[in-house]
Each structure stands twice: as C-alpha cells, then as structure tokens.
Amino acid sequence: MQAAFYVELDEGDDRLEIPWADPDNPANRFFDLRADLRGLDQIAEARDNPPLRRFLAAVNSPDTLFATAKCDTWQTDEFSPDERAAFPQAQTKYASYVDLVFSRDAFNFHRRHYEQLAHRLIPLLLPTSTAARTELCLRHCHFRPHEEWGFYLTVFLHGYGRDAAEAEHQWTEALEVFESALQRLSAVLQQALQQADG
C-alpha cells in the first residue's frame, strides 16, 4: 500500500461543517455515530456496503479516540499519471473517503494533533502488499456547537485491480488495514492520556 499526507488549508479549499446537512436532501445529513450507532441504518453508503459499515462502527466505538463525519464510495476508470505508474496492471479502482475527527473536542482545534496523527498512521499502513493507496488530507472544519474553526482529516482509500471485483477486494483489505492502524494508535494514545491524567 502507498500512503501520503498533504494539507489543504487555503481559501477555496474544501471545508467541513459539523453537524452538516444537505439542503437539497434533508435525509442526507450528519449522524453522531458515537452517540448512537443506529444512525448507520440512515447512512445509505453504510447500508449498501458491509465493509464500510463495519469500519464506521469500529471507528465510532467507545474504544477509539475518533469519530467520523461524512463518507462516500465510488468506482472509476480514471487514473492520475502517478497511479498509472504505480499500478500499471490495474484497469479500474474502487475508492472511498471518510472524514475523520477526534472524539475529544479539545483535540480538534490544534493542527499539530492532526499532523502527529497522520505521521504516526502512515508507518502502520506501509508494510502491506495491498494494491491500494491511502491519502490523508488535513482540512478546516467548523464545529458548530462551539462556533469555532478547527481541523479534520479526509481519508481517501483507493483499491486497484484488473476488474471491479479485484479493485473492491483490494479496497476492502486497505480499509481493514486502516481500521487496525486507527485502533492500535488509539490504544497507545489513550494509555498516554491516562498516564498524563494520573
């Protein structure tokens, strides 16, 4: 698997608002899955995609320091030059994004927390042979309950294959690797926080 981290914090770059709602489709909105995992039943992407549903349930569980805000999946035959060079045998890719924040509100307002998270995640993703790519993108987020701007990570996962089934299989493997990395890192961070509090 390939992995990269980059920053999009300029004016005009994508931003997120939590909670959010689609003005054209009120049913398409933010669900606080940490408060109630039954919200998964209201998220079309999770209903139609069991691996994504499992990932969202795991990441939003009380066992982690993370929460998700938005997600989507798609399949495409469009490749960047870098993708074409890295995966020359692939004909298609299965892709997703998940917007990730910390479950502890205070962590969301410091850029360094997200940069440290990204730099600690990447080494946990690289020792795999999965035909996949992970991109971690740091962006601005407006947290409406606090009326304050902070940050979030958009996590892009791309699985590559000679056909749709292979691409989706590679994506599923990459998603499982990423879930495991988040859980491992969360356990380390929680232990450090407990020691600091003690």
Structure tokens at 64: 């982690």
**Residue 135, C-beta contacts closer than 8 angstroms, at least 6 positions apart:** 3, 4, 5, 6, 155, 156, 158
Average pLDDT rounded to a whole number, residues 69-82 = 96
The pLDDT confidence band at residue 91, using thresholds 50, 70 and 90, is very high
What is the DSSP code (8-state) at residue 150?
E
* Helical ranges in the chain per DSSP H: 44-47, 50-59, 81-86, 111-125, 164-197
Average pLDDT rounded to a whole number, residues 10-20 = 96
3-state secondary structure of 128: coil
The alpha carbon of residue 4 and the mean position of all alpha carbons in its chain are separated, in whole angstroms, by: 13
Place of tokens 């045998």: 89
Residue 198's pLDDT is: 58
Average pLDDT rounded to a whole number, residues 21-49 = 93
Average pLDDT rounded to a whole number, residues 100-115 = 96
